[in-house]
Amino acid sequence: MDAVYLKYFLQRIHNAFIHLAPIYLFFLYLSIPKLYDTIGLFPLLFFFISSIITIGAGYYINDFFDGEFDAHSRNKVSIEKLSSFFRQILLLILFATSLFSWMLTNAPLVATLLFSIQWILLILYSLPPIRLKNRGLLGYFCDAHYSSIIPFFITLTFTNFHINTILVVLIYMLLLVKGVRNIWLHQIEDRRIDKLANQQNYVNSFPLQHTFFYLNKIIIPFEFSLLLIISIATFNTFPLLLFSLFIFMLTFLIEHTCWFFYRFPKRNFTKMFLYTLNDFYEDYIPYVGIISLQISAFYKTLFLCLHAVLFWKKTKRIPQKLLLCFERLFTLKYI
């Protein structure tokens, strides 16, 4: 057994949990009072456990079938260092634990079907010879669904959270665009490694400037527009969502420009907005859900504290950025 790989694998699960969980916690937090009265605490706990294990299984399955490619890269920790027997046992343990935890949630049939589809897509994404990750747009479509869209609908059906059809379509589009943006950013980071491994994808097939152009001119503006429309459409129910988006964008502009936006070097715009919306999803949205809960101040404070502890690295960025903005406003300093 290779301790280096296991440490790397656990770190990947942790990172995935930090980046993917917050947007689904929004709906989970809002549904906790109703779920606690109807299904109890333990099914909620097992739903949470199953979600984390499934995220980890997705990364492991990708490593499982990419081991030969990763072994040729000096910058990646390869699963090939583990014995074949241990690799298969670990995959079986992850699948069995995820399935067993899910069975204890007493989830409705629709949520269970979505859970099954998620596992099928996780496998088809990396499994040779199908290997959807190498199938261009189909691979992006698959990645966005198993990592963002299906987990959202699983949470929605598990919590029995009712929202109108138009809003569901808007959120679907938002998560699809978000998923494509994030897989492109991942491929940009792994561009050199993928070329060495002879793995073909959109980022490797065209000059990098083209990818940045489409990200900055089409994908990110469209994603932000969808987020803004959703925030306005839900203003009567969740006014804090639009307010938090306004505060986030205001602090972002002050942090980077201190009002001197027209003096910002154009070359910095290429990479300035690539991860910006991820910060909003991860830092702000879960707190919007908790603060919007119709429960006593004591339990609301308790949930706020628990979330702050679980996502401490994300939580501390909010006051840090606010303090930085005040400093730049009063000193008129900018990047």
First-residue to last-residue Cα distance in the chain = 47
From 20-34, 295-309, 311-325, the region with the lowest mean pLDDT: 20-34
Amino acid at 275: Y
Q: Give pLDDT tens digits for 140-187.
A: 899 899 888 998 888 888 888 788 889 999 999 999 999 999 888 888
Once rounded to an integer, what is the mean pLDDT over residues 44-54? 85
Q: Would you list the domain boundaries of the chain?
A: 1-162, 167-233, 239-335
Average pLDDT, the chain: 80
CA 48, CA 59: separation in Å to the nearest integer?
17
Tell me which of 228 and 326 has the higher pLDDT: 228
Kindly report the length of the chain.
Answer: 335
Once rounded to an integer, what is the mean pLDDT over residues 22-45? 74
List the structure tokens of 221. 């503006």
Tell me which of 1 and 50 has the higher pLDDT: 50
The crossing angle, in degrees rounded to 10, of helices 276-283 and 3-38 is 50
Using an 8 Å Cβ cutoff, are 73 and 199 in contact?
A: no
Q: What per-residue confidence (pLDDT) applies to 258?
A: 59
Percent of the chain whose predicted confidence (pLDDT) is above 90: 19
Q: What per-residue confidence (pLDDT) applies to 223?
A: 95
Using an 8 Å Cβ cutoff, are 143 and 135 in contact?
A: no
Q: What per-residue confidence (pLDDT) applies to 332?
A: 57
When mean pLDDT is compared over 12-26, 50-64, 144-158, 249-263, the highest value belongs to: 144-158
DSSP string, 30-88: HHHHHHHHHT-HHHHHHHHHHHHHHHHHHHHHHHHHHHHHHHT-TTS--GGGS-HHHHH
Angle (CA) 40 46 48, round 5°? 105
Q: Give pLDDT tens digits for 68-100.
A: 555 555 455 556 666 777 778 888 988 999 999
Q: What per-residue confidence (pLDDT) applies to 117?
A: 95
List the structure tokens of 178. 């978000």
Phi, psi (5° rounding) for residue 178?
A: -60, -45
Once rounded to an integer, what is the mean pLDDT over residues 95-124? 92
pLDDT exceeds cutoff 50 at 63 = yes
Q: What per-residue confidence (pLDDT) applies to 313?
A: 78
pLDDT exceeds cutoff 50 at 200 = yes
C-alpha distances out from residue 192 to 72, 75, 205, Å:
12, 10, 12
Once rounded to an integer, what is the mean pLDDT over residues 272-291? 86
When mean pLDDT is compared over 82-86, 113-117, 209-213, the highest value belongs to: 113-117
pLDDT exceeds cutoff 90 at 112 = yes
CA 229, CA 120: separation in Å to the nearest integer?
32
Tell me which of 239 and 78 has the higher pLDDT: 239
Tell me which of 1 and 179 has the higher pLDDT: 179
- pTM reported for the whole predicted model: 0.84
Q: What per-residue confidence (pLDDT) applies to 321?
A: 81
pLDDT band of residue 335 (cuts 50, 70, 90) is: very low
pLDDT exceeds cutoff 60 at 1 = no
